[in-house]
Chain A
Amino acid sequence: MLSELKPAILITFVFTLLTGILYPLAITGAAQALFHAKANGSLIERNGKVIGSALIGQNFAKPEYFHPRPSAAGNGYDAANSGGTNLGPTNSALADRLTKDAVAFRADNAFSGAIPADAITTSASGLDPEVSPATAYAQVGRVAAARKISPDAVRAIVSAHIESRDLGFLGEPRVNVLKLNLALDGKALDGK
Chain B
Amino acid sequence: MTINGWLQITFFIVLVALCAKPLGTFMAIVMEGRRNFLSPVLGPLERLLYRLCGVKLDATGQPEDQNWTRYAAALLAFSGFSALLLYAMQRLQIWLPFNPRAFSQNNVSPDLAFNTSVSFVSNTNWQSYVPETTLSYFVQMAGLTVHNFLSAAAGLGVAVAMVRGFSRHSASGIGNFWADLTRATIYILMPLSIISALFLCSQGVIQNLNQYTAAHTLEGTTQLIAQGPVASQEAIKMLGTNGGGFFNANSAHPFENPTPLTNMFQTFLIFLIPGALTYTFGKMVRDTRQGWALFATMTLLWFGGVLAAYHFEQKGTPMLAKAGIETSATLNETAGSQAGGNMEGKETRFGIADSALFATVTTDASCGAINSWHDSYTPLGGLVPLFNIELGEVVFGGVGSGLYGMLMFAILAVFIAGLMVGRTPEYLGKKIEQKEVKMAMLAMLVLAASVLFFAAGSAVADFAKAGYWNPPGPAAANINNPGAHGFSEILYAYASATGNNGSAFAGLNANTPWYNMTLGIAMLAGRFLMLLPLLAIAGSLAAKKQIPVSAGTFPTHGPLFVGLLAGVVIIVGALTYFPALSLGPIVEHLMQ
Residue-wise interface mask of A (114-140) relative to B, using a CB-CB cutoff of 8 A (1 in contact, 0 not): 111111111111111111111111100
Specify which of B133, B190, B249 lies most central, judged by the most chain A CB atoms within 10 Å of its CB: B249
- Asked whether A133 and B216 contact (CB < 8 A) given A90-B483, A123-B252, A166-B261, the answer is no
CB pair B54–A7 under 8 Å, yes or no, is yes
> A55 with B204: in contact, given A15-B150, A131-B348 (CB under 8 Å)?
yes
Known: A79-B225, A170-B263, A172-B339. A125 touches B347 (CB 8 A): yes
Chain A residue contacts of B236, Cβ below 8 A? 19
Would A132 and B52 be within 8 Å (CB), given that A41-B225, A65-B218 are in contact?
no
Bitwise, B325-360 to A at CB < 8 A (1) or not (0) is: 111001001101111111111111111001000000
Pick the residue among B150, B194, B485 that contacts A91 (CB under 8 A): B485
Stretch at the interface among B287-295, B365-373, B406-414, B536-544: B365-373
Residue of B nearest to A106 (CB): B324
Chain B residues within an 8 Å CB radius of A62: 219
Q: Residue-by-residue, is A50-71 near B (CB-CB < 8 Å gives 1, otherwise 0)?
A: 1111011111111001000100
* Number of residues of chain B lying within 8 A (CB) of chain A: 135
The answer on a CB contact under 8 Å between A181 and B218 is yes
Residues of B contacting A125 in the complex (Cβ-Cβ under 8 angstroms): 247, 249, 252-254, 347
Cβ contact within 8 Å between B339 and A169: no
Chain B, Cβ-Cβ closest to A178: B218
Question: Is A7 a contact partner of B55 (Cβ separation < 8 A)?
Answer: yes
Docked-complex contact A170 and B480, CB < 8 angstroms: no
Interface residues on A, range: 35 or more
> In the assembled complex, which residues on chain B have CB atoms less than 8 Å from the CB atom of A110?
none
> Does B210 lie within 8 Å of A27, measured CB to CB?
no
Q: Bound complex: CA of A122 vs CA of B149, how far in Å? A: 34
Please judge, given known A-B contacts A52-B223, A89-B377, A91-B481, whether A43 and B249 are in contact too, CB under 8 Å. no
Decide if B207 touches A27 in the complex (CB within 8 Å): yes
The reply to whether A81 and B252 form a contact with Cβ atoms under 8 Å apart is no
Assuming the contacts A89-B378, A120-B323, A125-B347, asked whether A20 and B217 have C-beta atoms less than 8 A apart, the reply is no
Which B residues lie within 8 Å of A124 (CB)? Answer: 249, 252, 345-347, 370-373
Contacts of A123 in B (CB 8 A): 252, 345-348
Query: Are A128 and B217 in touch, CB under 8 angstroms?
Result: no
Scoring B130, B258, B263, B347 by chain A CB atoms within 10 A of each residue's CB, the highest score goes to B347
Do A50 and B376 touch across chains, with their CB atoms under 8 A apart? Answer: no
Residues of the B chain whose Cβ atoms lie less than 8 Å from the Cβ of A189: none
Would A94 and B319 count as touching, CB distance under 8 A? yes
From A27, A61, A119, A130, B232 is in contact (CB under 8 Å) with: A27
CB distance B215 to A53 under 8 Å? yes
**Chain B residues, CB < 8 A from A181:** 218
- Assuming A7-B74, A27-B201, A35-B201, is B249 touching A185 (CB within 8 A)? no
For the complex, give the distance between the alpha carbons of A83 and B507 in Å. 10
Q: Whole-angstrom distance between the alpha carbons of A102 and B323 in the complex?
A: 6
Interface string of B194-221 (1 = CB under 8 A from A): 1001100111111111101111111101
With beta carbons under 8 angstroms apart, the residue of A19, A30, A90, A92 that contacts B145 is A19
Closest Cβ neighbor of B484 among chain A residues: A90
A39-B208, A50-B215 are known contacts. Are A20 and B146 too (CB-CB below 8 A)? yes
Q: Which residue of B lies closest to A35 (CB)?
A: B201
Cβ 8 A contact of A117, one of B201, B326, B484: B326
Task: Give the contacting residue for B208; candidates A40, A49, A135, A162; CB below 8 A.
Answer: A40
The verdict on B65 contacting chain A, using a C-beta distance below 8 Å, is no
CB-based contact B178/A90 at 8 Å: no
Which residues of chain A come closer than 8 Å to B549, judged between CB atoms? Answer: none
4 closest residue pairs by CB, A with B: A171-B260, A124-B252, A86-B507, A134-B336
Would you list 14 pairs from A and B whose C-beta atoms are within 8 A, ordered by A residue? A8-B77, A10-B53, A12-B85, A18-B186, A31-B231, A40-B227, A80-B225, A85-B345, A91-B481, A101-B323, A116-B326, A124-B252, A130-B347, A171-B261
